[in-house]
Amino acid sequence: MHSILVIGCGSIGERHLRCFQKTGRCVVSACDTHGALLAVIEERYKVPVFSSLDMALAESRFEAVVICTPAHLHLPIAIKLLNLRLHVFIEKPLAIDNALVPQLRESIAKAERFVAVAYVYHLMPWIVGAREFLKTGELGKVLQASSISGQHFPTFRPAYRDIYYARHELGGGGIQDALTHIVNVTEWLIGPCTRVFCDAAHQSLEGVNVEDTVNVSARHGEALVSYAMTQFQVPNENTLLINCEYGSVKIKTNHQRWGLIRMGDKDWTWHQTPTMERDDMFIAQANAFLDGVEGKDTLLCTFEEAVQTLKFNQAALRSAATGSAIVIE
């Protein structure tokens, strides 16, 4: 059995804890600095709990950690634990800036431990299916793509005003919190973003000032890509259309399916994947992380892929602030 410590047991940390438990492949412990929350976690999941990371490390031994604190703490914690030679799984976004990226890269090289970033779209079968097909190259080069996504964030995360989401410096706002998932998976499908022009505004969500609405005109190498995202719209929808030389691929995440249309076809051919509840994706992700710890190949987002998406996040924020297009080196 693997031994896993979940650090930060708020909304997503609790889900990771539950889903790692459900793999049946590990014993899980929990760490959070919020005492009342920790008591609930202890009661609900019957796991050992620790009120600080230092206490957890002093009192017990772990093989791997899942870092689920707000994003400004991801890299300091990851570096500390890699230097103790633990395997590390980091929630998205990787960080809020690239200050500690070189240091983490060095720690990874020295520790020789498995490191991945929890961009959970990598575990969605409808995305994996589309990616496998795109990799065949049958449709030729990707020339253009457009993504339309959004949901009513207050419905899904009523506490949004009181958490990291309210502040950019904690990893908040629509770019770092939500669009980052879409951009990361688009990069995984068609290659890294190389240029960003971003228009973003606070349009609707009460009690915060960060952007809840984002329009991006980007380049991913030779491909032109547009992203439109809102966090106030009523429909919870997420579509990515990828137009290639000889046909198109469409991914409809809310319908858990991907489609294909070749030049000359009259209609889409859809590939429906088996229905997954949200926890199912996180159980699949937990299993993939444990596979990685065991030295097996996984589809999880790598550290370097997450560094690239962090560059996008920063470029988009800078572009929105300055009104200029930003080239990503």
Ligand X SMILES: NC(=O)c1ccc[n+]([C@@H]2O[C@H](COP(=O)([O-])OP(=O)(O)OC[C@H]3O[C@@H](n4cnc5c(N)ncnc54)[C@H](O)[C@@H]3O)[C@@H](O)[C@H]2O)c1
Give me the residues that bind ligand X (CB under 6 A), please.
7-13, 31-34, 37, 53, 68-71, 73, 91-92, 118, 120, 163-164, 171, 177
**Which CB, 166 or 224, lies closer to ligand X?**
166
**Which CB, 68 or 205, lies closer to ligand X?**
68
**Which CB, 32 or 305, lies closer to ligand X?**
32
Q: HSE (CB half, 13 Å, CA atoms) of 170?
A: 13
Helices (H) and strands (E) in the chain, counts: 11, 15
Closest residue to ligand X using C-beta atoms: 10
**Which CB, 33 or 239, lies closer to ligand X?**
33
- Which alpha helices (H) appear in the chain, and where do they start and end? 11-23, 35-45, 53-59, 74-83, 101-111, 125-135, 153-156, 173-174, 180-190, 278-293, 303-322
Contacts of 304 (CB under 8 A, 6+ apart): none
Cβ 215 to ligand X shortest distance, Å: 21
Specify the DSSP element, H or E, that contains 237.
strand 237-244
Specify the DSSP element, H or E, that contains 247.
strand 247-252
**Which CB, 122 or 248, lies closer to ligand X?**
122
Cβ 233 to ligand X shortest distance, Å: 18
**Which CB, 83 or 324, lies closer to ligand X?**
83
Cβ 322 to ligand X shortest distance, Å: 25
**Cβ atoms 47, 30 nearer than 8 A:** yes
Q: One-letter amino acid identity for 63?
A: E
Cβ 41 to ligand X shortest distance, Å: 9
Cβ 266 to ligand X shortest distance, Å: 37
**Cβ atoms 195, 329 nearer than 8 A:** no
Cβ 121 to ligand X shortest distance, Å: 9
Cβ 174 to ligand X shortest distance, Å: 12
**Which CB, 134 or 170, lies closer to ligand X?**
170
CA distance 28 to 194: 39
Burial class (CB in 10 A: 0-12, 13-18, 19+), 239: middle
